[in-house]
Each structure stands twice: as C-alpha cells, then as structure tokens.
Structure 1
Amino acid sequence: MSPPRIFDSDCDGDTLVIMLLGDVSTLIPEHARVELNQALEKLRPPEVKHVVVDFEQIGYFGSLMLGSLHIIWKRVRQSGGRMALCNVSPTGREVLRVARFDTLWPICGSREEALATVRQDRRQAG
C-alpha cells in the first residue's frame, strides 16, 4: 500500500502552485522528498519559474515541511523566480516565525494574493 499523498501541484500560467494535502510529518522523509521532486519537475523556467505554496488544508507542520520549503526556495532562486506562501494557519505562522522563515517569503491570505505577489514586477515591489 502506498503512503498517502502530501503534495499536489498545478501550473497557473508562469507559477507552480503546490498544495499541501496533509501532514508531511506522517511521511517517511524519503517519500516526502520523492513527492516534492515530482511536484518540482513542473518548475521549468522561463515558462514556469515562480512558486506559491498553499497551506489551506493543513493547520500544523514541523521540521520536515520547513526542510521542504527550503528545497523549494532553492529551486525557485535557481530559476530566477519568486515564492510566496498562502492560507497559513495561525499555528503555521508561528512555526514559520520561530524558524525565521517568515522573513524569507511573503505570507499571503489567499492564493490569488500570493499569485499576484510573485508576479509583481520587482521594481514596483520596492
């Protein structure tokens, strides 16, 4: 029996949207890595170079998810893109704050806001 899926992904124009379907900590790290790599195969600059990670379906996450975010971020930086998080629960925001990951990427209230944020011209962003 295969483990439950944790990541789902879809492209929205030039942005890969990664949806978290469940608690990553329930997976064996190797399974999480395989799933994440499958999702990141869709990141193909210059056509698809930004990433939005949508936390809508999970409330809490731990170190395995933080590690996954770091892997995603490294790939996005290599592609010259930007990354944003959205629909993060208050508990999730606290986890990101404690890890100081809240300073790395915008945390948006909705997927639409996150998509607009990553697509924003850097000159307009300040």
Structure 2
Amino acid sequence: MYLAERWGDTLVVVPMGDAAGFSVTAVASEMSVVKSLVESEATKHLVVDLSRGNYFGSIVLGNLISLGTVIRDRGGRIALCGASTDMQDVLRLMKLEQMWEMYPDRTAAMRVISDIPVGQKLWSQRKVFAIIAALVVAMLIFIYAPRPKYGRSQYEELSKMWQEVESRRALAGVDEWQRLRQKTEKRINAIVDQLESRNRQRGPKGVESYVIFAGRDHLVPSMGSESQDLIDYHRRMVQYYLRCCEATMEGRPLPLMPGIGKVALPQMPGKSTGSVAPTTADEPDAPATDP
C-alpha cells in the first residue's frame, strides 16, 4: 500500500491507493514499516507523494498526519506533493495546507526540502547519462572508425583486370577476346554504378574518380577499337589513371599527363571528323603535358 524511498536526509512516502482497497491487517503492517523508517535517525524530512491516487480517505490521511508529527517533533520539514484537485480541497478543509508545505510535484518538493548527496543525484539521472554516453560513443565511432577503402579495393580489382587484358591482348582469338571484353565491360559497369550511387550527392572524387576514368573511359574502349592509334591512346590513358590512383593513395603529386599527340577519332553525331586530341568529357583537369 505504501512505497518508501530514501533520498539523502529525506524519506519519500507514496500511498498507492486508499486503505478501503486493502485489509486492515495489511494497512497496519505496512504502516509499521514506514513508521520505523520515519523514526530512523537518518530521516530528517518527509515528502508525501499523493500522485498515485485521486482521493485518499481518513485512514491514509490519519497515518500520514501521525508520520508528520514524528518529523515535526524532530524539527524537520513535511511536504505534500502531487495532490489531485479533489484531494487539495480535502486538505484545505483539514487545514493541512497550513501545517505542511504544498508542492505541485515531487521534483519541486525535493528541490526545496531534501539535501541529496551528489552521488545519489547522479544515480537518479543514470538513464540520462547512459543515453548521453551512448551518443558520445556513437559519435566517436563515426569520427574515428576506419572507413572502408572502397577506392583502393576497386583500384586493385581494376589493376587485375588491366593485367589480364594486356596479357591476353596479343594471344587471344576473336571469340575468346570478345568473351573477355564482355566480362570486363560488365564488371567495370558494375564498379562504376556502385561508385556513382554511393557518391550520388557529391560525385566520385580522388581514387574513385580515377578508377572510373581508367575503366569506363579507356579500358573498355581499348578492347573495342579497330584503330591501333586509338587503342594505344586508351592504353596509355589507363596506365596514366592507374598511376594517378597510386599517387593519390600514397599522398604523392599526380603524374604528368602523357603526350598523346593527335589521332583520328570516330565521327560523333552532329560533329565532323578530323584530327583531334582524344579526350573524355568528364575527365578531371590534368596536369601539364610531358614535354
């Protein structure tokens, strides 16, 4: 019927309902336990929290008045808190608001009356501290945890594909070369799609962008062109962008763009053919050409 909690030098008593719902023996037994806590030397003040019920009858109020008398005789303070509107009317009729201090809730009462040790105050806020600690740990993990090195792993995969293509370029038959080209193009398209979807907001940067340029814009075209000059150009550009990947990962300056001269490119829709320097529309600005 009663809950009792000690906070520093203050005992908080919480009636869980009116005595009419409990047997006389149970009420008397629990009241004797609470009274022994009130009479303890550790108890200096008393806070009665009435928030668990809308109304409490004469038995409960009589018991609480008895407890309050013990505290008053000792020179302590007594407070009522959390009383419903109906209960406040009863307390005014009994003139208890003149005898005891009245507060809207337990927090307000404890703030004024109780002298709670710092350790106990901190323990009462343990859930808040646990949430804050979890947020701090999550933030530190986000900041300091190593990120997956997508660019490096895809550079390594592209390098292996490049080595396989070069090792079979001169030896593979037509059918074998076509199968290799299809397999390589399919895998490179998957890598490009993955990089672009993962960097949809800002676009691929650094190693990831060089992987795209080397694979999509030069390795795949180097396997399908019939012009030897164009094949040689794409092969040089693959090697150049792979070196750009290595330099970026190692923190070195980017290598100079290789001198590629001019070659005849296939005619594009709306453009005339001619001798032009091969380029890719979305390649990054390259350093100066080798002399």
Deviation at 1:98, TM superposition (A): 1.2
1:90-105 correspondence to structure 2 within 5 Å: 90-105=85-100
> Aligned partners of 2:19 and 2:102: how far apart in 1?
19
Q: Which secondary structure state, in structure 2, belongs to the residue aligned with residue 42 of structure 1?
A: helix
Which ranges of 4 or more aligned residues in structure 1 deviate by more than 4 Å? none
Read off the aligned partner of 2:89 and give its amino acid letter: E
Q: Between Structure 1 and Structure 2, which shows a larger proportion of helix residues?
A: 2
Cα RMSD, aligned residues only: 1.8
Match 1:7 to one of 2, 10, 26: 2
Larger radius of gyration between Structure 1 and Structure 2: 2
Unaligned runs of 5+ in 1: 1-5, 121-126
Matched position secondary structure for 1:52 = strand
Q: Which moved more, 1:21-30 or 1:56-65?
A: 21-30
Paired with 1:74 and 1:85, the residues of 2 have a C-alpha distance of 14
For residue 85 of structure 1, the aligned residue among 52, 57, 80 is 80
Matched, 1:48 2:43: yes
8 Å Cα contact 1:82/1:118 also seen in 2: yes
1:66 aligns with 61
Query: Is residue 34 of structure 2 the alignment partner of residue 24 of structure 1?
Result: no
Q: SS at 2:48's partner residue?
A: strand
Q: Displacement of 1:77 after TM fit?
A: 1.6
Aligned partners of 1:29 and 1:64 also within 8 Å: no
8 Å contact kept, 2:37–2:43 = yes
Of structures 1 and 2, the one scoring higher in RCO (CA 8 A, sep 6+) is 1
Question: 2: CA distance between counterparts of 1:29 and 1:49?
Answer: 29
Q: In the aligned structure 2, how far is the partner of 1:32 from the partner of 1:79?
A: 25
* TM-score, scaled to structure 1: 0.80
Identity percentage over the alignment?
30
